[in-house]
Structures are given as structure tokens and as C-alpha cells.
Amino acid sequence: MAGAPNSPDMSMGAGKPCIAILGGSFDPVHNGHIALGEYFVDLLAPDELRIIPTGNPWQKHGLQATPQQRVEMVRRAFSRQSVPVRIDQQEIVRASVTYTIDTLQSLRRELGPEVSIVFLMGADQLQHLNTWQGWRELFDHAHLCAASRPGFGMEPANVPNEVMQEFSLRAASPAQIRNTPYGLTYLASNLAVDISATEIREILHNGARPDALVPSGVLDYIEQHHLYKS
């Protein structure tokens, strides 16, 4: 656990525990992941930011860093947050293919029926949400909050109609999300961060340092372990 505890924003009427969930392959973790987490930490004042590195993601193949290397990179990247940070390795230890719905069901069983669980995603994930296993069931276990980035607009032309309908019907304020367990949505259009892990791996493969894209501690770890060189 990293960072100092953060008192919930009483102006939002925060009474129930709130856990923000940030998942990803983190191959490698980069400043876009950090910006997404910090944006919603500022917005929702959760009691914990839980980072969940993927294990065997069904829509991605050929992760280059090992699970423990990705965990260590995440630990370094999120070592200075304003809320407690927990790195949850449940997807890594899971033997089967990783589906988000399984993770959220597991979190709900662990945390109980009253805790507000908020699943964070970028707009690029939102654009393909309807291809996820049991995507409509996600709302039975968590809130879904998405933030845009350049090139990934959240207009109807860029997001599947069925996804936009669900997000429109469930749209809520940060205070409502903070104080109810699940089922609501929030779209943030003012987080302009355009970073991709693919781009970073290519830069590293070419022998350059993506200093503006990756936290220094993570970049040091990548170089020490000669990651993404081939």
C-alpha cells in the first residue's frame, strides 16, 4: 500500500466506502495510466485506488514483460498517490482467461454489497466495450467511468450505439457514484492524454528513452532489466 490516506470529500456527502479500480496490461505502465487514475481520484475522493494488472487477457496476446515485472512497474508508478494504493494480483494468479466481469464479481464478493466500486477506463476501451464478455453485467457490480483522450472521441459516431445508450441512461454525478454501490456511469471529456504502450515499446526497441511518457522510476526499471529490447 502506498500513499497517505485521504479523507473523503465531505462536500460530496461521502459516507460509504468507495474503491476505484484501474485495470490494464501495464506493458509498460505509463503516464496516461497515472493521469487516468489521478483524474478520478480527484473527482471521486475514493478510499482506495486498486490497480489490477491483467493476467491472461482474452483480447491481447504476447505480453512482453512478465507478470511480476509488470507488478513492480505498477508499484513504482503509483508510489506517490494521495490515497492508499493496492496492487491486486487476482487476475495474474487466475489460471483461466481473464474477463473483467469475473474480476468485478470477485471484488463484489470481497467488498460486500454496500461499497461503491468504480471501474475506470479510457475512451479507447469504451469504444469496444460491447465486445467484452458479459459487458452489460458489469453494471450489476460496479460503476463505469470513462475519460477521453485525443483521437478517441466519445461521440455517438465513435462509440457503439448500445454502449452510448447504457451510459446515457445511467449517467450520474460524482456524488451519486460515490454514494451508491454500482450501476451508474460518468464520462469525462477533459483528460487530454495521448499515450500508448505500443508506442513506448517501439521507442524502447529503437534504443531511445521515452522520458516524457513513462515515470522515471519505471523507466529505470525497464533499463535495468533490459525490457522491450527485442
- Digits of tens for pLDDT over the chain (230 positions)? 333 333 333 334 447 899 999 999 999 999 999 999 999 999 999 999 999 999 876 655 678 999 999 999 999 999 999 999 999 999 999 877 889 999 999 999 999 999 999 999 988 888 899 999 999 999 999 999 998 766 666 666 778 999 999 999 999 999 999 999 999 999 988 887 778 899 999 999 999 999 999 999 999 999 999 999 87
For residue range 159-174, what is the model confidence (pLDDT) as tens digits?
899 999 999 999 999 9
DSSP H or E stretch at residue 201: helix 197-205
Contact 92, 71 (CB under 8 A): yes
Region for 134 from its dihedrals, namely left if φ exceeds 0, alpha if ψ lies in -120 to 50, beta otherwise? left
Cβ-count burial 130-166 (b if 16+ within 10 Å, e if not): eebeebeebbebbbbbbbbbeebebeeeebeeebbeb
Closest by CA position to 38, among listed 78, 89, 87, 86: 78
DSSP H or E stretch at residue 188: strand 185-188
The pLDDT, as a whole number, for residue 150 is 64
Give the integer Cα–Cα distance in Å for 207 and 229: 8
Contact 183, 170 (CB under 8 A): yes
Contacts of 229 (CB under 8 A, 6+ apart): 204, 205
- Rounded to the nearest 10°, the torsion over CA 224, 88, 84, 40 is 100
Strand partners, 168: none
The pLDDT, as a whole number, for residue 153 is 61
Question: What is the reported pTM?
Answer: 0.88
DSSP H or E stretch at residue 93: helix 90-93
Give the integer Cα–Cα distance in Å for 200 and 204: 6
Contact 1, 85 (CB under 8 A): yes
The pLDDT, as a whole number, for residue 124 is 81
For residue range 37-49, what is the model confidence (pLDDT) as tens digits?
999 999 999 999 9
The pLDDT, as a whole number, for residue 1 is 34
* DSSP letter, residue 163: H
Contact 149, 123 (CB under 8 A): yes
Residue type, 189: S
Give the integer Cα–Cα distance in Å for 31 and 225: 20
The pLDDT, as a whole number, for residue 149 is 66
Q: What's the N-to-C CA distance of the chain in angstroms?
A: 33
